[in-house]
Amino acid sequence: MDVSELLSLTAAQATAAIERGDLDAAELFAAYRSRAADDDLNAFTWVAEDLPEDLHSDAPLRGVPLAVKDLFCTEGVPSQAGSKILEGYLPPYTATSVRRLQDAGATLLGKTNQDEFAMGSSNENSAYGPVLNPWDRTRVPGGSSGGSAAAVAAGLAPWALGTDTGGSIRQPAALCGIVGLKPTYGTVSRYGMIAFASSLDQAGPFTRDVTDAALLYRHLTGTDPMDSTAVGHPEEIVLPTAERLDGVRLGVPAELSTGEGVEPGVLAAFEASLETARSLGATIETCHLPTAALGLSAYYVLAPAEASSNLSRYDGVRYGLRTPADDLVSMYTDTRHDGFGDEVKRRILIGTYALSSGYYDAYYGRAQKVRTLIAREFASVFQNVDFVVTPTSPTVAFKLGSLTADPLAMYLNDFFTVPMSLAGIPAISIPCGLSEGLPVGLQLAGAAFSENRILDAAHALERALAFDGSPPRTREAA
């Protein structure tokens, strides 16, 4: 098998080829390692130097390389969460999710760049520089898991692990033209995932196709003695086979589909994909999620509130950066001033404000109630439809620097993805077409623990949409 052929395999195809003896796991790793080491998108913050001694080519994932977002602790390997405050940090243990995948045979290829502490929608908030979108290097890859998305889209990794708090898997997957799954909250352990907003954070796969997403998620989900919120999955995750959508009811939320700021080209690709779904036998109906449009407002209370607490651990005492000072409190305040970027500071301040005396009920208390309403509305909608469908992001990948001066405009990127996060339900983004030559993502969300159904429906749609996931440059190079 020549190198370009080998790099064109999906992870599932590669595992099958290794199992058959047609492909050597070490050769596959070497090919990707060389691609990742030559990364000119700034997608990687660390790349494995050598083939690990413990290449598990007899385990289910057959030693296939895996890129991992820098937010995951990996023992002895830099884990900096895109932050200067964790520069050079070498964790003493590996996150359960990464460990599970390694136990299943995945090989750590590298750590991927991200927005600092997963706060951002463009990857421009990384202390290690922005990531470039492989479809157009003047544009962002989305965020916060921008490095994982760009690496998979550019063929620098067969698949990658990311995290999604308000859209950080789905939005970059959409902007890079690949598949991203945010699982049901609690189905993947958060132990060793550097915390942003603990009631929302969830790990999930970035892959070239839906089958790979199912394969990675199958090995990712599980309970964990180290995370009391990790409930595992009640079903075995199976590889999707559906080719039709007969009898499948898709709901288009009236309140979300008319959201302001949705680009016409995105709407056109979305509507065309609904036509495709109809041709496969699905019915499309309008549904109502009246509070979902306020999801963003509630999210920007809840997530910063949790972050302000979670990030109090960065104080220059036990790990990471320390700015020397004469007294203890000055050491804390100076270290945090020097170590955190602007977006992280904004969120710490918003969160602390929302939790402070006199404001708690008006902000945090109300936001928690809005969350209840949104979760109830989804539960009610799923009585009548199987999936809620929306565009994943209101826009295609935007120009680097175009939104950095306006934090609120940046937040609006998450308009379609935040409601599902608040409800804790699973959602997938699959590429559904191009607008202005750039990928558009289609989001399918289902009831809690409906991953098998979501993956099946996404598989049928993926087949019919036949999206060519290789960015033009990659195509020319091949």
Partner 1 sequence: MIDPAEVLHVARLSRLKLTDEETERMAGELSSILDHIAKISELDLEGVPPTSHVVEVEQGLRPDVPGPCLPRDVALAQAPAVQDGGFLVPSPQAG
The one segment of 89-97, 115-123, 253-261, 262-270 that binds partner 1 by CB under 8 A: 89-97
User: Rounded to the nearest whole angstrom, what is the least distance from the CB of residue 428 to partner 1 in the complex?
Assistant: 18
Catalytic pick among 83, 144, 148, 257:
144
Q: Is 128 in the site for partner 1 (CB under 8 A)?
A: no
- Do the bridges between strand 107-112 and strand 65-69 make them parallel or antiparallel, or are there none, so unpaired? parallel
Q: What is the DSSP letter of 184?
A: P
CA distance 173 to 121: 11
Q: Is 259 in the site for partner 1 (CB under 8 A)?
A: no
The one segment of 126-134, 260-268, 337-345, 467-475 that binds partner 1 by CB under 8 A: 337-345
The one segment of 85-93, 260-268, 396-404, 459-467 that binds partner 1 by CB under 8 A: 85-93
The one segment of 125-133, 214-222, 226-234, 240-248 that binds partner 1 by CB under 8 A: 226-234
Interface with partner 1 (CB under 8 A), residue from 29, 89, 191, 416: 89
Q: Is 325 in the site for partner 1 (CB under 8 A)?
A: yes
Q: Is 402 in the site for partner 1 (CB under 8 A)?
A: no
Question: Which secondary structure element, helix H or strand E, spans residue 31, and what is its range?
Answer: helix 25-37
- Do the bridges between strand 283-287 and strand 249-253 make them parallel or antiparallel, or are there none, so unpaired? parallel
Task: Say which residues have a Cβ less than 8 Å from residue 292's Cβ, sequence separation at least 6.
Answer: 253, 255, 256, 374, 377, 378, 419
User: Rounded to the nearest whole angstrom, what is the least distance from the CB of residue 335 to partner 1 in the complex?
Assistant: 9
Q: What is the DSSP letter of 248?
A: -
User: Rounded to the nearest whole angstrom, what is the least distance from the CB of residue 186 to partner 1 in the complex?
Assistant: 4
User: Rounded to the nearest whole angstrom, what is the least distance from the CB of residue 55 to partner 1 in the complex?
Assistant: 26
The one segment of 46-54, 247-255, 272-280, 328-336 that binds partner 1 by CB under 8 A: 328-336
Q: Is 197 in the site for partner 1 (CB under 8 A)?
A: no
Residues between 350 and 369 with contacts to partner 1, criterion CB under 8 A = 350, 352-354, 356, 362-363, 365-369
Q: Which of residues 33 and 371 has its CB atom nearest to partner 1 in the complex?
A: 371
Using DSSP's 3-state secondary structure scheme, residue 200 falls into: coil
Q: Is 423 in the site for partner 1 (CB under 8 A)?
A: yes
What sign does the dihedral 45-397-435-416 (CA atoms) show?
A: positive
Q: Which of residues 52 and 78 has its CB atom nearest to partner 1 in the complex?
A: 78
Question: Catalytic annotation on 393?
Answer: no
CA distance 48 to 28: 14
Q: Which of residues 242 and 350 has its CB atom nearest to partner 1 in the complex?
A: 350
Q: Own/partner pairs for 28-32, CB < 8 Å, 24+ apart?
A: 28/63, 28/64, 28/65, 29/55, 29/63, 29/65, 29/107, 29/109, 31/3, 31/6, 31/7, 32/7, 32/65, 32/109, 32/156, 32/157, 32/158
Residue pair 447/108 in contact by the 8 Å Cβ criterion: no
User: Residues 138, 478, 212, 280: what is their CA dihedral angle, to the nearest 10 degrees?
Assistant: 90
Q: Which of residues 278 and 369 has its CB atom nearest to partner 1 in the complex?
A: 369
Question: Catalytic annotation on 144?
Answer: yes
Q: Is 334 in the site for partner 1 (CB under 8 A)?
A: yes
DSSP helix, strand, coil percent of the chain (3-state; round to 5)? 40, 15, 45
Cα Rg of the chain, angstroms: 21
Q: Which of residues 139 and 336 has its CB atom nearest to partner 1 in the complex?
A: 336
CA distance 393 to 142: 10
User: Rounded to the nearest whole angstrom, what is the least distance from the CB of residue 289 to partner 1 in the complex?
Assistant: 14
Q: Which of residues 150 and 293 has its CB atom nearest to partner 1 in the complex?
A: 293
Task: Point out the residues that are catalytic.
Answer: 69, 144, 168
